[in-house]
Structure 1
Amino acid sequence: MTDKILDCSDLDRHMGKAICPSRPRDPIAKMDIRRWAQAMRYPNRLHYDDGFANESRFGRLIAPQSFAVACDDGHGAAPACVGKIPESHLIFGGDEWWFYGPRIYDGDWIHDERVPFDYVVKETKFGGPTCFQRGDNNYYNQNGDFIAKQRSTSIRYRADIAREAGALTGTEDPEWTESQIVELEARKFEYIKSMHELGHGKRYWDNVNIGDTLPTRVIGPHSIASFTTEWRAYLFNIWCGVVRRTDLDIEALGFTGPMAGKEQDPVLELENPELTDGAYIGPSRGHLFPQWARYIGMPRGYGYGASMGAWILDYLSGWAGEWGMVLHSNAAYRGPAFTGDITIMTATVIDKKIDEKGNPFVQVDFKMSNQLGAVMATAKAEIQLPKR
């Protein structure tokens, strides 16, 4: 029987102390924005069609609100993974976002200041004693404008205990018939049409009522290919795409064995970059290789928590339209997207308010599930809308 101890004694000395900041090596390019929208399966023309974007209120191509996390060098999890927990691994547990108004455009140079926040240890069916650790990412542009804060939650656990528990079952991808795929594509297009119908128009706060439901958004089926497309849209996953951290040591964090590779090592990247590429070697490869997914307690290839968070922000932003904006979102991730599954997003308006500055907004209750009805994520969000 495994000795079920999770040693978190090293974490206290890191709380509240800033870690090495992150920034892309180059200013943001239009193709970075387009690549992100495509990888997140978010066909909002503001983010890839110059003609449409030029006629918008922005007068140019603009990045989705979710794009901020693409500018970080660790999916936002870096300040939520500090301190050594021996024999541990990490998956994503949630993201809370606050947006302050400035948007990201091509030509911007984004940097991220990061501070570990707190942690708590709980018992879980998946991994026994499990550490839920949080850290803040503060995103700024080259002018010092505060774009967004992301409070990321990481779940740190012992992979050997998770393998022993075997809480996640289903090693084989579900099979979809050709007719089912055709039906899925039709369901996906319903959400896309809702964005087309709104176009450059305004979704007025006055016309939204408590109890209204947002259009259903469907993505998938997920695959190793789709997860790989997501991976390459994060700028830090491109060779020399970001200024690498000098304080990152995967083994010192407690990752062990085949999961303690030299992912993001700035010296090795120049000598043999494939050895630093998390798609192939190191703690991230469990997403793309079923063998390594099972090693950390997952049944098969699985998606990225930061992408799940982006899907939520994109879904809400697409409904709000170009005159609206997600102000705040607090999402908890309950289970990843697995290969072969689809992801279904729904939301309901649960409140309408006007803040102390006179800005109207609605609050929505969000749910993400797979084709079997298993809940993957939940969230509460506040969305600012224009008022007549």
Structure 2
Amino acid sequence: MNEKLQAEFEKATGYELTDDHIERNRLLLGIDVPNPDDEQIHTASIDNIRTFAFGCGNDNPLHCDPEYAAGTRWGSVIAPNMMAGSINKPLKGDPLDPEIKKQQKGVFRGIHVFISGGEWTFYRPIYPGDTIFSFKALESLEVQPSEFAGRKVNRITRVVKINQRSEIVGVYRYREILTERKTAVKKGKYLEIEPARYSDQDIARIDEIYANDRPRGADTWYFEDVKEGESLRPSVSGPLTVSDVITFHAGGYGWVPYGLRVGRLWHKNRQRIPAFYIKNESGIPDVAQRLHWDSQWARAIGNPIAYDYGVMRENYLYRYLSDLAGDDGWVYSTYDEIRKFNYIGDTQFIEGSVIGKRQEHGLHLVDVKVSMTNQRGEETVRCKATIALPCRSGSPVILPEAPDDLRRRAVSMWTRHCELTQRSKTG
């Protein structure tokens, strides 16, 4: 690391994970607040659905080919369900209690945050023309020891995604790990990992898996045909490149809350959140999250190489699961644990098996487990998921219903949004 970058690193790592910040953040527990995030995408369209899918390596014609999708049970292109996490128009609502809001100022400033996994439950498809809003609440916050960083905060946030009809599209619970940058660097247990290198034979092995990896499509997977314990077809994702990260952003991910900004917007964002910008080796204030494409900065933070966003692998898992489900199935829920970093150059080999099948609330459900293992033989992600399948009797998959209390909450939040929107129009 050169002297300029070293100086900026020392500034950036001066922030501490304090008990005061932890206790102030606890004040948010259980409070539903409208999500004001102004994402790059507010409303789904044929084009941005296709762009997002491609950014996740997903070429399923159900998402990408309007002519094909028109002949399916959905009658149209639909978004990959997990795209709900990247679509958001600000939801209007009553403000947070002023005293609680005041207590959040500066909380966890300069602290390193990464996603360690999440849980999705999907209730409705997203069609072109659907606008997505959301509200969220902090569900839990725990302090634990960390081998990587001394101690860490584990935080779970629940996000409820709704459409313009106040229908719940999906519910996302994501787990964050918060650590001090300086402590993580001192531990530095991953710093000896070497970048992956590939021979032509290695690439040929990966190509062979890709060549046999395709969506099930109209080849319906019936509930009666599923056997507990059966292995699912293998898949692969990678090798990971910086281009993959850029393409994922281009598909719509990562606009807020911090955001990547250019020109005048870069200037304005630096005034809003100065701690997020750390000078690079050329003296230019650049985003702290560049550790996802700048290996020199990643190493300064305590990792040997730049690495992916955990959300990228969650979307790769969804691609795998929706390919399995086929046009007539429905990926009902996913729960994943991100256990290792996925460094630039790493390849993720995907495999899974059926662990159970059951009937519940009129749904015919298949439970599967899926894992991602890198070229070093390390399991980097494990996932449990549930897929709803049709029956050979001709019964189509019905869509699941969200819990009654959550649906009532969604209607209440949407009603208030409409009231405030109308009030702003009338003055």
| TM-score normalised per structure 1 | 0.83
Aligned AA for 2:48? D
Distance 1:291 1:267, change over 3 A: closer
122, 143, 159: which one pairs with 1:99? 122
Report the counterpart of residue 187 of structure 1 in structure 2. 209
Long gaps (5+) in structure 2 = 1-13, 90-103, 278-284, 393-427
Q: CA deviation at 1:162?
A: 0.7
Report the counterpart of residue 366 of structure 1 in structure 2. 370
Larger of the two Rg values belongs to structure: 2
Q: CA deviation at 1:268?
A: 6.1
In 1, are the aligned partners of 2:307 and 2:341 still within 8 Å (CA)? yes
24, 46, 52: which one pairs with 1:10? 24
Q: CA deviation at 1:307?
A: 1.3
Report the counterpart of residue 42 of structure 1 in structure 2. 58
Percent identity at matched positions? Answer: 25
Q: CA deviation at 1:66?
A: 1.6
Report the counterpart of residue 346 of structure 1 in structure 2. 351
Please say if 1:211 is aligned against 2:229: yes
123, 126, 132: which one pairs with 2:148? 126
Distance, in Å, in 1 between the alignment partners of 2:220 and 2:131 is: 30
Report the counterpart of residue 54 of structure 1 in structure 2. 70
CA offset digits 1:136-186 (Å, max 9, x no partner): 111111111101000000000011111000121345421112232122112
Report the counterpart of residue 316 of structure 2 in structure 1. 311
1:70-85 alignment, distance < 5 Å: 70-72=86-88, 84-85=107-108
In 1, are the aligned partners of 2:15 and 2:110 still within 8 Å (CA)? no
Report the counterpart of residue 287 of structure 1 in structure 2. 292
Distance, in Å, in 2 between the alignment partners of 1:265 and 1:20 is: 24
175, 200, 224: which one pairs with 2:242? 224
Distance, in Å, in 2 between the alignment partners of 1:214 and 1:308 is: 18
Distance 1:266 1:17, change over 3 A: farther
Report the counterpart of residue 186 of structure 2 in structure 1. 164
| TM-score normalised per structure 2 | 0.76
In 1, are the aligned partners of 2:43 and 2:87 still within 8 Å (CA)? no
Q: CA deviation at 1:201?
A: 2.9
Please provide the CA RMSD for this pair. 2.9
Report the counterpart of residue 395 of structure 2 in structure 1. none
Aligned AA for 1:178? D
Distance 1:172 1:274, change over 3 A: farther
205, 218, 221: which one pairs with 1:200? 218
Report the counterpart of residue 259 of structure 1 in structure 2. none
Distance, in Å, in 2 between the alignment partners of 1:178 and 1:130 is: 41
Aligned AA for 1:46? L
In 1, are the aligned partners of 2:42 and 2:132 still within 8 Å (CA)? no
Q: CA deviation at 1:222?
A: 0.4
SS at match of 1:318: helix
Report the counterpart of residue 265 of structure 2 in structure 1. 269
Please say if 1:64 is aligned against 2:64: no
SS at match of 1:199: coil
SS at match of 1:346: strand
